[in-house]
Amino acid sequence: MDQSVPLVQFVNRPGVIDLAWGHPDPDLLPVEGLRNASARVFERYGADALNYGYAAGPGPLIDWLCGRLSDVDGRAATPDQVVISAGTSQALDQVTTLFTKPGDVVLVESPTYHLAVRILRDHPLELVPIAADEDGVRVDALHG
């Protein structure tokens, strides 16, 4: 099929390892697992799976995540503490909307994830880069 707009950002070029974007190896993406999970969801929930959902995200997924947070992280979250996002960009935008106002200063690791910079600037916030090392932000660099 001819596409005027590409489906993905990244075009795999044999023999080239493109480190510019950090795209995952397509062979590692769980296509079969998601195909099976989708089939099970449609079996169990039918058209509800495609309808407008609960504002914080699908209830069964939220319940499952609460159980997993309790089992894996050892801290039980309640369903009212969990919100499902469509990805890191949406979550960062929501958190920024909730907790900042235009002109606020945001400390960011240097270097910082480039899409986060774009989202934070859109709000518009003042980004102040802080030196980081393998353990994250260098707290000593915060003084001064």
Ligand X SMILES: Cc1ncc(COP(=O)(O)O)c(C=O)c1O
User: Of 70, 81, 88, 97, which lies in the binding site for ligand X, with binding defined by CB under 6 A?
Assistant: 88
Q: Kindly state whether residue 23 participates in binding ligand X, applying the rule CB under 6 A.
A: yes
Give whichever of 21 and 52 is closer to ligand X, judged by the CB atom. Answer: 21
Instruction: Using alpha carbons, list the distances in angstroms from residue 90 to 17, 94, 115, 140.
Output: 28, 6, 11, 31
Task: Kindly write down the DSSP assignment for every residue of 79-100, as one continuous string.
Answer: GGG----SSHHHHHHHHHHHH-
Q: Kindly state whether residue 6 participates in binding ligand X, applying the rule CB under 6 A.
A: no
Q: Kindly state whether residue 115 participates in binding ligand X, applying the rule CB under 6 A.
A: yes
C-alpha 44/C-alpha 69 separation (Å) is 24
The tokens for 48 are 């509800």
Count the site residues for ligand X by CB under 6 A: 7
Give whichever of 81 and 88 is closer to ligand X, judged by the CB atom. Answer: 88
For residue 24, the minimal CB distance to ligand X (Å) is 9
For residue 22, the minimal CB distance to ligand X (Å) is 5
Cα Rg, the chain, nearest whole Å: 20
First and final CA of the chain: distance in angstroms? 58
User: Of 6, 14, 15, 22, which lies in the binding site for ligand X, with binding defined by CB under 6 A?
Assistant: 22
Residue type for position 80: D
Residues that bind ligand X (CB under 6 A): 21-23, 87-89, 115
